[in-house]
Amino acid sequence: MEKKLLSSLTSVCMVAFPFLFRGSKMRENLIIFFAKGVLSTLIDAYVVGNKRISYPCRPFPKTFKTNIIFDMLFFPLLSVVWVKISSNDKLGMIILKSLIFSVPMSLAQWLFERYTGLFEWKKWSPLHTFASVSFTLFTIRGLVALTRCLDKLKNGQVY
């Protein structure tokens, strides 16, 4: 069952990929995607290395201790979507929209941990998931704001 879930998640991500990376903000979306992949992988490697979470069912188990589908595909694509839907919002709306992503993610991970063998929580909880998802979303959003500011500086648009 776990391999089917991972295959389904991979398929959904691959289908969504071309739709998320078209248009005038393709460069920004690629920055978001790769930055989130690096950030998620680093955090997950730390958490797995400290034996807080394990991934019994994962692709390339001899090479990776983390689940690269989550870290390098699913979470980065969700970050691209999140930045797209919150790109013109003020702080209050950004926080609200982050809850739309982090709360369901925490609940889903709790359910998957409980009813599947995708991962096992050892020293982890839904609150940890909520905090890490929120932290990475806001970190990536900050990176996007920085790149936008640098683009404006480069183009002489900042007064």
Helices (H) and strands (E) in the chain, counts: 6, 2
pLDDT, one tens digit per residue, over 77-100 is: 999 999 999 988 999 999 999 999
CA–CA separation, 97 vs 99, rounded Å? 5
Two tokens at 5?
């879930």
The band of 159, judged by pLDDT with boundaries at 50, 70 and 90, is low
Model confidence at 155: pLDDT above 80: no
Average pLDDT over residues 45-61: 95
Q: What percent of the chain has pLDDT over 70?
A: 98
For the chain, the domains span 2-10+31-154
For the chain, state the CA radius of gyration.
Answer: 17
Which pLDDT score, from 0 to 100, does residue 157 have? 65
pTM of the model: 0.89
Two tokens at 21?
């990376």
CB-based contacts of 32, cutoff 8 Å, min separation 6: 76, 79, 80, 83, 140, 143, 144
Model confidence at 117: pLDDT above 70: yes
Beta bridge partners of residue 3, listed in sequence order = none
